[in-house]
Amino acid sequence: MEMSFRWYGEDDPVTLEQIRQIPGMVGIVSAIYDTPVGEIWSYDKIVELKEIIEKHSLTLNVIESVPVHEEIKMGLSTRDKWITNYKETLRNLSKAGIKTICYNFMPVFDWTRSQLDAPLADGSNSLLYDDKLVKDIDPLGGELQLPGWDLSYQTGDLRKIIDQYQTISEQQLMDNLIYFLKEVVPVAEEEDILLAIHPDDPPWPIFGLPRVITNKENVQHMLQAVDSPNNGITFCTGSYGANPENDLLEIIEAAKGRIHFVHARNVKWIGELSFQETSHLSRDGSIDMVSVVEKLYDCGFTGPIRPDHGRMIWGEEGRPGYGLYDRSLGATYLNGIIDTLNRK
């Protein structure tokens, strides 16, 4: 497996110099962050990002993410324009030698939490999702802004988009996803690109918005509907694992051969539809990380894996969930599991 690390570019408080010192680190997961959603990514910008990373003896091995325009997700008549742009971005990424692309199909908002600095017993803090609190949050009120959220919309535009989604069922959203995939997967095949959809986070509806990549059944349906090895998933332990009803080992088996990227994150279930993120260790959370990595290993996964959200420890400040220290510990823990499995 290729140990990798998320880096948000030059504005990230975590530097490439620091990342390269993490034992076993080979890959960087990043993106072009200043191009509006739906617009074509410039080949020159992609190459510039790649060269910055390579100067630090690391490889840009995953793009996370190429955002999908809301008009594609909603299935509007204008979606083909944005899909054409998406195809061109894929071609530019392939031309630059980048072959694994993570994306999601979550309406409006990326991953959602109700608290960014919830205390843990060891004195650290982490991201927390409390379903009761989320139900009281007005997504248009500015009460909560999280990394990954597209904040470029004006409030009036955002309200209109959210209102439009109220008439879109989960089946319609899935149909729109499959329409999108039937258009872009042939390009991915031509360009030797692996598309890896990230699950909804959390894996249930929020703010009255539908969700479609939430469980084994959804994954199987999506993979079978567009049956190509280039159409795969990002297996995120924390997203799928937030729902106790999801059997992570069964999802891995169902997606065997179609898992192109892995996010390793642990969560502790703290109530119905509520959880708090923990260290990556199996003993600290509700996810048996050792069994998950072993299952991935046994299913032949050799692609990029990154330690996902970590705690904020040792007084570190910065982007919530994306501190250097705990994710570095997570990478070391994952490397220990992988090294042990390699001796089997």
Q: Which residues contact 44 (CB under 8 A, 6 or more apart)?
A: none
CB 228: neighbour CB atoms within 10 A?
15
For residue 111, the model assigns a pLDDT of 85
> Does residue 21 carry a pLDDT above 70?
yes
Choice among 69, 198, 260, 280 that is catalytic:
198
Q: What is the sign, positive or negative, of the torsion defined by CA atoms of 14, 28, 196, 337?
A: negative
Among 264, 203, 210, residue whose Cα is nearest residue 235: 264
Catalytic annotation present for 309 = yes
> Does residue 135 carry a pLDDT above 90?
no
According to DSSP, the β-strands at 2-6 and 304-307 are parallel
- Cα 27 to its chain centre, rounded Å, is 16
Confidence of residue 280 (pLDDT cuts 50, 70, 90): very high
Across the beta sheet with 267-271, what order do the strands follow?
Answer: 115-119, 125-129, 274-277, 267-271
For 301, phi then psi, to 5°, come to: -70, 125
**Bridge partners, 271 (sequence order):** 274
Q: Provide the CB-side half-sphere exposure for 311 (13 A, CA).
A: 25
Confidence of residue 142 (pLDDT cuts 50, 70, 90): low
Catalytic annotation present for 236 = yes
Choice among 200, 308, 326, 333 that is catalytic:
308
Say how far apart CA 31 and CA 247 lie, in whole Å.
Answer: 31
Q: Which residues contact 339 (CB under 8 A, 6 or more apart)?
A: none
pTM value?
A: 0.94
> Does residue 153 carry a pLDDT above 70?
no
Mean pLDDT in residue range 299-313: 97
The CATH number of the structural domain formed by 2-341 is 3.20.20.150
Choice among 263, 284, 326, 333 that is catalytic:
263
CB 149: neighbour CB atoms within 10 A?
15
Catalytic annotation present for 308 = yes
Q: 37 with 103: CB under 8 angstroms? A: no
pLDDT tens across 37-50, in order?
999 999 999 999 99
Catalytic annotation present for 8 = no
Catalytic annotation present for 260 = no
Q: Where in the chain are the domains?
A: 2-341
* Cis status of the peptide bond prior to 169, with omega within 30 of 0: no
Q: 1 with 305: CB under 8 angstroms? A: yes
Q: Tokens at residue 210, please?
A: 């539908």
Place of tokens 């030698």: 97
